[in-house]
Structure 1
């Protein structure tokens, strides 16, 4: 089996979020798909270790946003490389609430969906959640960010909880945020594009 074949599957970049009884949670995902048109339903896949999954289950609803092509990488850093258990991801950004009272980022997005959780399926490392869309908003006509562009244009990393993360990647990994630079040699003056740490914080894979 050649794992590189999976790199040819197209993905987007999204943030899903919800508010539980004691805190807000949200994370970056690359798997959001429309699965039916009547009624309108979306599917998302979340790692079982994600705090956001537990908060969505508690809330019974979630919000999902599509990121725009020129989104600030800092937004992806906040929602992709930290846990909502340890960090209030919304404290440093502008956000709004959807019609289900779930928070979502107000900037850097092209569309927003409000969903009621109606089903879930355990598929191994991840859980697929099915949400019936209760509201949808086109925020901008700007192009959305694709996962390919995130990697090629923004030097983006794949968080370990992502369904597209693959074990055995070679290169150097940042010990702070998890970013992987796929290279045989890491320059001494290299700076992590996600968290800003220098080469001394990287370990060879």
Structure 2
């Protein structure tokens, strides 16, 4: 199976914000769609091992920041390539709180949704949430980025140092390590479900 075929599906890129007992956190997701009107409801997916996902399950609410064309890789890396278990992602990042006290970023977003969970389904690597949109705001007139934009124009290409021996590969999203020198192009992380493009080489000392 060619995982890159899925890059051609029309996804956006979003920052998912949560607040649990005063602790705030956020992560990146590329899965969100409107699924109903009156009341307006959306479906989102989040990686089960992410702290944000755990917080959303317990709090029952979240914010969704729709990233725009000004989004940099640094922003996506900040919220998607490190865990809120180890760092305070908002310590040095401008943010505000929505009506449910969930954080959202103040720049590089074109829309903001404030949401309350109606139901959830465990999909294995991810959880699918159906949520009612309690409020929606246009934050800028810039166009949103798509997942294809991210893969093609924003995400840096992995550079392999040919003068060093590769002894394994590490998922840049969740840290899972594959202790093999070769990484199949169709490999999928067994922990977070991300493809081979999100792995970096581990070199011998």
TM-score by length of 2: 0.77
Alignment of 1:47-196 (within 5 A): 47-156=47-156, 160=173, 168-169=184-185
Counterpart-to-counterpart distance in 2, 1:35 and 1:11: 14
Counterpart-to-counterpart distance in 2, 1:137 and 1:41: 15
Does the 8 A contact of 1:26 with 1:84 survive in 2? Answer: yes
CA deviation string 1:82-129 (max 9, x = no partner) = 111111111111101101111111111000000011110112211101
Alignment of 1:32-43 (within 5 A): 32-43=32-43
Counterpart-to-counterpart distance in 2, 1:12 and 1:156: 18
SS at match of 1:153: helix
Root mean square deviation, CA, Å: 2.7
Q: How many residues in Structure 1 have an aligned counterpart in Structure 2? A: 175
Q: 1:180 offset after TM fit, Å?
A: 6.9
Aligned to 2:27: 27
Counterpart-to-counterpart distance in 2, 1:35 and 1:160: 28
Q: 1:4 offset after TM fit, Å?
A: 3.7
TM-score by length of 1: 0.77
Unaligned 5+ residue runs, structure 1?
162-166, 171-177, 183-200
Counterpart-to-counterpart distance in 2, 1:41 and 1:168: 38
| Deviant stretches of 4+, over 4 Å | 156-161, 178-182
Q: 1:203 offset after TM fit, Å?
A: 3.0
SS at match of 2:49: coil
Aligned to 2:161: none
Unaligned 5+ residue runs, structure 2?
158-170, 175-182, 187-193
Q: In 2 relative to 1, CA 139–65 (structure 1 residues): closer, same or farther, beyond 3 Å?
A: same
